[in-house]
């Protein structure tokens, strides 16, 4: 369990995912992430997914009133769409 209260996570970078925060769960017991009022995740960057935070594998994140995610950036693009009418040149995944 991770608890962040009135904290600031700012200007971090990740070469892969989760510039500010990475929360990795597991099959038998998901990790729990709590962010409470006053916590700010600002200006972080990831080259793949989740500039501010990346949640995966059964992570359960609970953000309470006043948590701010701002000015984070991520770089991953996911090719493939699921609407033939709009994207006729792409196949279904």
The residues binding another protein (CB under 8 A) are: 17, 25, 27-30, 47-87, 90, 92-93
In the complex with another protein, which residue's Cβ is closer, 1 or 80? Answer: 80
Q: In the bound complex, what is the minimum distance in angstroms from residue 48's beta carbon to another protein?
A: 6
8 A C-beta contact, residue 48 and residue 76: yes
In the complex with another protein, which residue's Cβ is closer, 11 or 66? Answer: 66
For residue 8, count other CB atoms closer than 10 A to its CB: 14
Q: In the bound complex, what is the minimum distance in angstroms from residue 42's beta carbon to another protein?
A: 9
- Give, as one character, the DSSP assignment of residue 36: -
In the complex with another protein, which residue's Cβ is closer, 11 or 62? Answer: 62
Q: In the bound complex, what is the minimum distance in angstroms from residue 6's beta carbon to another protein?
A: 14
Nearest Cα to Cα of residue 71 among 40, 48, 47, 92: 40
Q: In the bound complex, what is the minimum distance in angstroms from residue 12's beta carbon to another protein?
A: 14
Q: How far is CA 73 from CA 20, 28, 31, 65, 83, in A?
A: 10, 31, 24, 23, 26
């Amino acid at each position: 369990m991770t608890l962040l209260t009135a904290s600031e996570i700012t200007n971090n970078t990740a070469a892969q995912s989760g510039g500010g925060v990475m929360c990795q769960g597991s099959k038998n017991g998901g990790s729990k992430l709590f962010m409470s009022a006053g916590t700010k995740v600002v200006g972080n960057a990831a080259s793949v997914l989740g500039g501010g935070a990346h949640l995966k594998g059964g992570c359960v994140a609970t953000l309470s009133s006043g948590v701010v995610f701002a000015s984070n950036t991520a770089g991953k693009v996911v090719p493939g769409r699921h609407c033939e009418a709009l994207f006729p040149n792409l196949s279904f995944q």
